[in-house]
Amino acid sequence: MAAQSPPAPAESLLAPGISLGLARHRAATVHDVRYDLSLDLTARDSATGRVILRFRRTGTDGAVLDFRGRRLLHALANGRSLPAGAARNGHVLVPAVLLGEGENALELEFVADIAPSGASIIRTHDPTDGADYLYTLLVPADANQLFPCFDQPDLKARVRLTLTAPAAWSVVANGAAVSSDTAGDNVTSRFAETEPISTYLIGFAAGPWHRVSPTGGGRPITAYVRRSRAGEADLDTLIALHRRALDWMEGYFGRPYPFGKFDFVLAPAFPFGGMEHPGAVFYSEERFVFREPPTLPRRLARFSTVLHEVAHQWFGDLVTMRWFDDLWLKEGFATFMAAKALADLDPTAEAWKTFYLGNKPGAYAVDQTAGTRPLWQELANLDQAKSNYGAIVYNKAPSVLKQLEYLVGDSVFRSGIRAFLAQHAFGNATWRDLLAAIGRAAGRPLTGFGRDFMRRPGMPVAEQRLAVKDGRIARLSLAQRPALALSGPGPWTERVEVLLAYRDRPAVRLPVELGGALTEVTEARGRPAPEFVFANAGDYGYLLLLLDSASVRALEAGALTRTDDALLRAMLWGALWDQVRASRMTPERFVRLALAQLPAERDEQIVPVMLARLDRVVRAYLGPDPRARVQGEVEAMLWQGAADTARAYDLRKAYLDGFIGLATSSAGVAALDSLLSADSAAGAPLRAPTRWDIVTRLLELGAPTAQDRFTEQQRRDSTADGRRLAFIAAAGRPSGETKRDYFTRYFADSSLNEEWASGSLGPFNALEHQALSLPWLRPALDSLPFIQAHRRIFFLETWLAAFLRGQTGDSALRVTRRYLADHPRLPEDLRRKVLQHMDELERTVRIRRP
Ligand SMILES: [Zn+2]
């Protein structure tokens, strides 16, 4: 006879997903969690597993586990079977009566899916040698799709993995491999128990990997890549970069690398740039293996990703956000620390220019939209955590940290960070804990900073106002307003550096504390009239800066090209671009500026960014008539840039890419086609990725030679990557049938992996295909809830961006607005994502209006 049970957890805690209520309840009642997890990976479509979950509890409640895997086979709590119906709504309920004082042991057997997409274990098939590779990706809340667990970041657990795989495979996991047993064709490998880690950070990979572990001196690191790419991957270089990254972080944080060992895997078709699993970082093979000579931005992007994931070992893995509402904390820090490290490790890289180009435009583009959110993003249920990813956490957060460091000073900032890590090591923390630690180090509270930058959505716009009299500054002021009404009234308090640039004397930099609707730069008064003013020199401020008209004119007249400081020049180009997006400069005027001054720009990082903006202006912002007036001139400038032997390869390649993207005139298309017959372009042999880019454009443009070129390129490049690129290129065929076929496959083809699908969205939505793709806009919007539920974090953003940036007309805007109007109860996170991406379409329509 059963004893009378104490009350079970409230029914609301058992709702689908992992509610904040459930997480809080468990954090208060569950302690000292350990998982002993065994998985058999020898079947193709599923893994059978067993987990022994040990924990202590406070109080007398039952326990709620999370499990969304294929099937629960068997479950025991302290040796006794769970009652029928214990598994429901993605949870497993363990009645209180089966739990006791001291340590409890649950034993569960289960089946989890293995699939190219939509499963916690991703399988990718290599067509060149027929091999299969498996890896996990459990962030933000998919660990419970793999095995029954307490799937929340603040129930950290020690994890011991045991993996059974074919004998020819290697396996890598968070802990070091400690033993292996061969039985028949299979090997069972056991891994060391980890330090306490969050469930989303559990990771393993299995397959016939090529492995490299350099012998000799240096920190032991093993790198993994699939066999067919082993010849192309520069693993020794990558290992050396990781060693430098780990050494630098240990020095800055004043703490040794916190986990037992460090390895990394270049994972095929990986849907992220990287994932920071402690001890087993995974990277996108596509971004890490270069098939043609990498340009500087590509090399820097790769090193920055390494630094980002290594920084996560401390920020994210050692100290973890309590809940995904503070996702910004780990992402902001990883990117900010990566820039600091890069600035130190490679002074020639001009890391803060890279940081500006990589973060600010992206952050400002989203933070000015009605879909923006604060850095701290309220989150009621982990099943919506995917929506918290995006420019706010990845780009605004590091920008805000840059402002914070400038505000308190480098050494205070570092002391605060070290104290924060010491206090919360192997635990969890919130943004309040961080600001408290830095505030203590600074000797002043940071409550105002928290209010402005953690809790408040949106951003300030600052407008320069300059009055000159008799050759001297009569008045310089900065007028501040919120970019959006949703931020609420009132100014942000920030520290910026105001630059007065002169043609005939050194520039003057004035530190200014912004506050109030109007800030007077009193220090500027009476100084000689500058050639131009730039009120965010050094990029310390987080604000959209609108230049005064005299400064714009001076920059157009040549001051831009004469500016030596590349970070400043990058920001000036950016400010001029912002003039266009704010409808303060016509797109024609911007094209004229680019034609006149871009050829003189020799910065390898600025040029590709500006060429991408020029592409957007010409192909989207200009209507047909003004475009026809400049198309030939722009094509000529790009073609000459690619052919100019006086320029470095990186620049020529950027111009070549620009030409491939923009050429549409018949002469331009013929020139594109001729590149495929030539052996080289931009001064280097023409390699497969660029060939594919050209073929893709020829298909998009419906060029007469396109189909033959496509067939020829398929024959030339039959590698695994070649097949991917062929799939992507074919999405650019200008036919209704192609669009229908691809759109159907995005949902119906379970063998299609997300990386292929993401890649094809650009050609599917080529700007030249608006009439063909417009009918798919509404179905694309209608699919958002499905995508949110079944695709990985970044897919939804890529999807929305591709469909909305592929349109420039009123009709597309009407379709999007109608979709929002038809769904007044659309989940708020999805509505915001639509608003974020609709903003560019709205601007495009506004800018095009004659
Ligand atoms: Zn990250």
Strands 80-81 and 30-40: unpaired
Separation of 496 CA from ligand 1 center, angstroms? Answer: 27
> Above 70 in pLDDT, residue 137?
yes
> Above 70 in pLDDT, residue 521?
yes
Separation of 328 CA from ligand 1 center, angstroms? Answer: 9
Separation of 616 CA from ligand 1 center, angstroms? Answer: 28
Residue 298, SS3 per DSSP: helix
In whole angstroms, give the CA distance from residue 426 to residue 319: 6
Helices (H), 397-548: 397-408, 410-424, 431-442, 447-450
Residues 6+ apart with CB under 8 A from 666: none
What local confidence, expressed as pLDDT, does residue 362 receive? Answer: 96
Separation of 685 CA from ligand 1 center, angstroms? Answer: 35
Separation of 331 CA from ligand 1 center, angstroms? Answer: 5
Kindly state the average pLDDT of the residues 438-467. Answer: 97
In whole angstroms, give the CA distance from residue 145 to residue 119: 7
Question: Per DSSP, what are the bridge partners of residue 544?
Answer: 461
Confidence class for position 800, pLDDT limits 50, 70, 90:
very high
Residue 550, SS3 per DSSP: helix
Residues 6+ apart with CB under 8 A from 812: 770, 774, 777, 804, 841
How many Cβ atoms from other residues are within 10 Å of residue 178's Cβ?
A: 11
Higher pLDDT, 681 or 729: 729
> Above 50 in pLDDT, residue 554?
yes
What local confidence, expressed as pLDDT, does residue 384 receive? Answer: 86
Question: Per DSSP, what are the bridge partners of residue 508?
Answer: 500
Separation of 771 CA from ligand 1 center, angstroms? Answer: 38
Separation of 593 CA from ligand 1 center, angstroms? Answer: 37
Q: How far is CA 191 from the centre of its chain?
A: 30
Separation of 151 CA from ligand 1 center, angstroms? Answer: 19
In the numeric block, the tokens 């594109």 are attached to: 672
Range of weakest confidence among 209-218, 253-262, 438-447, 609-618: 209-218
Q: How many CA atoms lie within 13 A of 474 on its CB side?
A: 7
> Above 60 in pLDDT, residue 527?
yes
Separation of 139 CA from ligand 1 center, angstroms? Answer: 11
Specify the DSSP class assigned to residue 668.
H
Specify the DSSP class assigned to residue 149.
B
What is the token pair recorded at 627?
């475009």
What local confidence, expressed as pLDDT, does residue 679 receive? Answer: 78
Strands 221-225 and 460-469: unpaired
In whole angstroms, give the CA distance from residue 384 to residue 367: 20
> Above 50 in pLDDT, residue 433?
yes
Cα–Cα separations (whole angstroms), residue 616 to 235, 414, 661, 834 = 36, 40, 10, 20
In whole angstroms, give the CA distance from residue 673 to residue 712: 13
What is the token pair recorded at 804?
């909305």
Q: What is the largest CA-CA distance in the chain?
A: 99
Separation of 316 CA from ligand 1 center, angstroms? Answer: 8
Separation of 799 CA from ligand 1 center, angstroms? Answer: 21
> Above 90 in pLDDT, residue 729?
yes
Confidence class for position 2, pLDDT limits 50, 70, 90:
very low
> Above 50 in pLDDT, residue 3?
no
φ/ψ of 160, rounded to 5, equals: -120, 120
What local confidence, expressed as pLDDT, does residue 6 receive? Answer: 38
The closest alpha carbon to 19, from 385, 331, 285, belongs to: 385
Kindly write down the DSSP assignment for every residue of 603-657, as one continuous string.
-TTHHHHHHHHHHHIIIIIS-HHHHHHHHHHHHHHHHHHHH-TTS-HHHHHHHHH
Residue 225, SS3 per DSSP: strand
Separation of 395 CA from ligand 1 center, angstroms? Answer: 11
Kindly state the average pLDDT of the residues 390-418. Answer: 97
Identify whether the C-beta of residue 278 lies closer than 8 Å to the C-beta of residue 197: yes
Separation of 808 CA from ligand 1 center, angstroms? Answer: 33
Separation of 233 CA from ligand 1 center, angstroms? Answer: 23
Separation of 804 CA from ligand 1 center, angstroms? Answer: 26
Interval 6-29: pLDDT, tens: 344 567 788 899 999 999 999 999
The percent of residues above 90 in pLDDT, for the chain, comes to 91
The closest alpha carbon to 319, from 210, 400, 426, 416, belongs to: 426
Interval 295-311: pLDDT, tens: 899 999 999 999 999 99
Range of weakest confidence among 461-465, 556-560, 596-600, 749-753: 749-753
In the numeric block, the tokens 């192309």 are attached to: 232
Kindly state the average pLDDT of the residues 719-723. Answer: 90
In the numeric block, the tokens 């998982």 are attached to: 35
Kindly state the average pLDDT of the residues 809-813. Answer: 98
Q: How far is CA 113 from the centre of its chain?
A: 26
Identify whether the C-beta of residue 243 lies closer than 8 Å to the C-beta of residue 214: no
Separation of 768 CA from ligand 1 center, angstroms? Answer: 35
Side chain identity at residue 601, one-letter code: E
Identify whether the C-beta of residue 166 lies closer than 8 Å to the C-beta of residue 186: yes
The closest alpha carbon to 57, from 101, 91, 93, 94, belongs to: 101
Identify whether the C-beta of residue 34 lies closer than 8 Å to the C-beta of residue 131: no
What local confidence, expressed as pLDDT, does residue 291 receive? Answer: 86
| DSSP element (H, E) containing 726 | helix 720-730
Separation of 355 CA from ligand 1 center, angstroms? Answer: 15
In whole angstroms, give the CA distance from residue 521 to residue 478: 8
Question: Three-class SS string for 788-799?
Answer: HHHCCCCHHHHH
> Above 70 in pLDDT, residue 1?
no
CB neighbour class for 715 (10 Å; exposed up to 12, middle 13-18, buried from 19) = exposed
Separation of 315 CA from ligand 1 center, angstroms? Answer: 9
What local confidence, expressed as pLDDT, does residue 4 receive? Answer: 39
The closest alpha carbon to 124, from 775, 693, 723, belongs to: 723
First and final CA of the chain: distance in angstroms? 82
Kindly state the average pLDDT of the residues 318-325. Answer: 98
Stated pTM of the model: 0.94
> Above 90 in pLDDT, residue 571?
yes
Separation of 393 CA from ligand 1 center, angstroms? Answer: 9
What local confidence, expressed as pLDDT, does residue 10 receive? Answer: 62
> Above 90 in pLDDT, residue 142?
yes
Separation of 281 CA from ligand 1 center, angstroms? Answer: 11
Peptide bond into 445 cis (omega under 30): no
For the chain, what is the mean pLDDT? 95
φ/ψ of 40, rounded to 5, equals: -105, 115
Kindly state the average pLDDT of the residues 626-650. Answer: 96
Residues 6+ apart with CB under 8 A from 784: 796, 799, 800, 830, 833, 834
Separation of 342 CA from ligand 1 center, angstroms? Answer: 16
In whole angstroms, give the CA distance from residue 264 to residue 262: 7
Separation of 221 CA from ligand 1 center, angstroms? Answer: 20
Kindly state the average pLDDT of the residues 146-174. Answer: 98
